[in-house]
Amino acid sequence: MLNKNKNEEFKISLIHDSLVINFPSRIFVKNYAIKDFEKDNFSNSNGPIEYRKVLENSYYKEVDHIKIENISKYNIIPHHAYFYVMTQENDHDLNARLKYLGF
pTM, two decimals, is: 0.65
Could you give phi then psi for residue 95, rounded to 5 degrees?
-80, -10
The residue that leads in pLDDT, 95 or 45, is: 45
- What is the per-residue burial (b if ≥16 Cβ within 10 Å, else e) of 34-61? bbbeeeeeeeeeeeeeebeebeeeeeee
Residue 48's pLDDT is what? 67
Pick from 62, 52, 67: nearest CA to 16? 67
Q: Would you give the DSSP letter of residue 95? A: G
Residue 1's pLDDT is what? 39
Angstrom distance (rounded) from CA 23 to CA 1 = 10
Residue 32's pLDDT is what? 84
25-65, pLDDT tens digit by residue?
A: 888 888 888 888 776 655 556 666 778 888 888 878 888 99
Angstrom distance (rounded) from CA 38 to CA 86 = 19
Over residues 73-86, the mean pLDDT reads 78
Domains and CATH numbers, the chain: 6-102 (2.60.40)
